[in-house]
Chain A
Amino acid sequence: MLQHSIQLHSIDYVLLVTYFVFVLGIGFVLRRQVSGSKDFFESGRSLPAWICALGFIGANLGAQEVMGMAASGAKYGIMTSHFYWVGAIPAMVFVAIFMMPFYYGSKARSVPEYLKLRFDEKTRGFNALTFACMTIMSSGISMYALAKLLNAILGWNFHGCIVVSGVIVLAYIFMGGLTSAIYNEVLQFFLIVFGFLPLVLLGLKDVGGWDGLVQKLVKPATDAGFAPGTFTQSWAHIGSASSNPMGVEWFGLAMGLGFVLSFGYWCTDFLVVQRAMAAKDMGAARRTPLLAAVPKMFFPALVILPGLIAMALHSAGGNFQLPPKNGGLDYDMVVPTMLSYYFPTGMLGLGLTALMASFMSGMAGNVTAFNTVFTYDLYQGYIKKDGSDAHYLKVGRWTTVVGILASMAAAYAAASFNNIMDILQLVFAFVNAPLFATFLLGMFWKRTTGHGAFFGLISGTVAAAIHHGLSLPHGADVGIKGGWLGAIHVYPSEMAQNFWTAIFAWSTCFFATIVISMATRQKKSDEDLGGLVYSLTPKIKEHGVPWWQRPALLGSIVIALVLVLNLLFW
């Protein structure tokens, strides 16, 4: 079997080491630009929009995305692109046009701090704590996935991989702070493009172009009992959950994924919002998600298409075979198998470097978001309120060390509990899904109160837990997958269950927040809420701004483009 013994040659190592030299070199050079906590945590709010935009994509483009999207592409076909064309892109346009004015325009330095200004201390504390835990878990899982992969395909030492990746990420964040993380995310963006584009081009040529791919994917679709075009048409087969491999229907998909989960992630997760807040001015901050949306909408071609090609080659029964796992296929091995199949030594080094870069910058993104939230919202908020700026800079640097050590611990936890991915996904659905309702009401309805926000959030989380406890995906055992309160409903797939958990959580939070807000007194005056709520914030003037810098117009262009993509691959 090819995939368990990728042989690297000295030329591949030369490329890998060159990349690490650059990563550390960037941190080393940027070290001199960090003179205060604002430089370290917010890049001094000085970066141009295009750098923030590529960092915005890069921070999100971690292991889960690169390996996971290819795996889903092989498993579910082009429907996976809904994560982009229904999910990410509309949410990115929304955060740019409607929410960035309040994030960037208020004095908040983080998402939890916005919650403190808009609502109260307890809402901020709740968000800061859950967010800090989630970032550490995500970063640990990235680390674990990297070490496990390198161990499996190259035979490298598992512990060695954990320590080395941790130390490298630590070194460049410790020296250069957020700027260093963002610069490396930009570098990684280009590496992924240069590492994966030739893979896709070679693969497409091999299967006979798009038409050849469509033909070759008829067999796996009909073999599984679906219509012939199921793997290559994104909308045509989601009238009912039983007619597609994902097991979802259009309403659950549009509401659960498109509205609740995607908006919850892209609009409220500080990991991505932090990149836009590092921009040099309001215009640049609002353009960040919009500029990011343009390459993002074409990413399915880089990360999902390899999965489709792998499936086509696999079912054609040639030399290319995906490794088996538990009676099915090991979809996580799509990317490594494709790399070793199409790339000779040399390009193989580049491909692996791109893969490692994506794992590490996914980790770095989490760690920089963690150290900012910890330092500003937990340490300054609750432990030491009136330290000097130099003090907080020092705390931030050492928090980075703590963050990396905690990530390592999380990586080992992931290695010993094999369902830690499920746990992370649950925490995410329980905590992030209701959060978007809180922000929507907070930003657009000035009557929303602190008690309303806090207890609304809690009830959304509880609703998510109850829904999870009462439902079960088809064929799963009672436990971490749900049903622990007695399964009264069975979903056709885990994804369908996940989308509907989010829908319930969001709706409960939305209505509970409204009801509790009506019943409680608004403690904040209109003056307090200026710059934080839509109706109390002066509109941004766009006189003299060239058309290509106007968010509303750019957003419309992005939406039009993504509509065309949906129609093309209907």
Chain B
Amino acid sequence: MQLDIRLPIGLLFTVFGVILVIFGLVSDPAIYQTHSLGMNINLVWGLVQVAFGAIMLWLAYRGKKAKA
């Protein structure tokens, strides 16, 4: 049984996304004023990554079911 690459991709981006979302919620808002034009980029981009990771995991799950 070959490893479905969508599984590690989905896992990695979900983990990355969750870490960045949590950090975005607890971090000092001042760092976003000096860097990312005032936008909480950690929170926003973290959510994008969670969404992407979830889609990949869902595709991997569907692929596994189709094979079984």
A interface with B by C-beta (< 8 Å): 11, 14-15, 18-19, 22, 25-26, 29-30, 33, 46, 51, 183, 186-187, 190, 194, 198, 202, 205-206, 341-347, 350
Q: 1/0 per residue B6-50: CB within 8 Å of A?
A: 001101110110011001100100011011110101100100110
Cross-chain contact B5 with A345 (CB below 8 angstroms): no
- Chain A nearest Cβ from B37, distance in angstroms: 6
Q: Given A18-B15, A194-B13, A346-B20, are A341 and B8 neighbors across the interface (CB < 8 Å)?
A: no
Tell me whether B11 and A202 are in contact (CB under 8 A): no
Known contacts: A15-B16, A26-B3, A350-B16. The answer to whether A344 contacts B9 by CB under 8 A is no
CA separation between A46 and B2, bound complex, in Å?
9
A33 touches B8 (CB 8 A): no
Given contacts A30-B3, A51-B5, A346-B20, contact A22 B41 (CB under 8 A): no
CA distance A14 to B12 in the complex (A): 12
Report A-chain residues with C-beta under 8 Å of the C-beta of B9: 186-187, 190
A29 to B4, CA, bound (A): 11
Q: Across the interface, do A202 and B36 meet the contact criterion of CB distance under 8 Å? A: yes
A15 touches B49 (CB 8 A): no
Contacting residues, chain B, for A11 (C-beta < 8 A): 19, 23
- A-B pairs with beta carbons under 8 Å apart, 27 shown: A14-B19, A15-B16, A15-B19, A18-B12, A22-B11, A22-B12, A26-B3, A30-B3, A186-B5, A187-B5, A190-B9, A194-B45, A194-B52, A202-B36, A202-B37, A202-B39, A206-B37, A342-B35, A344-B32, A344-B34, A344-B35, A345-B27, A346-B42, A347-B41, A347-B45, A350-B16, A350-B20
Of the candidates A14, A33, A46, A346, the one whose C-beta lies within 8 Å of that of B27 is A346
Asked if B8 and A26 make an inter-chain contact with CB atoms under 8 angstroms apart, the answer reads yes
Give bound CA distance, A109 to B5, whole Å. Answer: 24
Quick check: A33 and B3 within 8 Å, CB to CB?
yes
Q: For B49, what are the chain A residues with a Cβ–Cβ distance below 8 Å?
A: 194
Say yes or no: B5 contacts A344, CB within 8 Å.
Answer: no
Is the CB–CB distance between B41 and A343 below 8 Å?
yes
Q: Are A202 and B41 in contact (CB under 8 A)?
A: yes
Decide if A183 touches B19 in the complex (CB within 8 Å): no
Q: How far is the CA of A30 from the CA of B19 in the complex (A)?
A: 27
The reply to whether A343 and B2 form a contact with Cβ atoms under 8 Å apart is no
Chain B residues closer than 8 Å to A343, beta-carbon distance = 35-36, 41
Question: Which B residues are CB-close (under 8 A) to A342?
Answer: 35-37
Instruction: Rank and list the top 8 A-B pairs by shortest CB-CB distance, nearest first.
Output: A346-B42, A344-B31, A344-B35, A346-B23, A22-B12, A11-B23, A198-B45, A29-B3
**CA–CA, A19 to B15, complex, Å?**
10
Nearest CB on A from B59, distance (A): 11
How far apart sit A342 and B41, CA to CA, in the bound complex (Å)?
10
Most buried by B among A19, A342, A345, A347: A347
4 A-B pairs besides A14-B19, A46-B2 with CB distance below 8 A are A186-B5, A194-B13, A342-B35, A347-B42
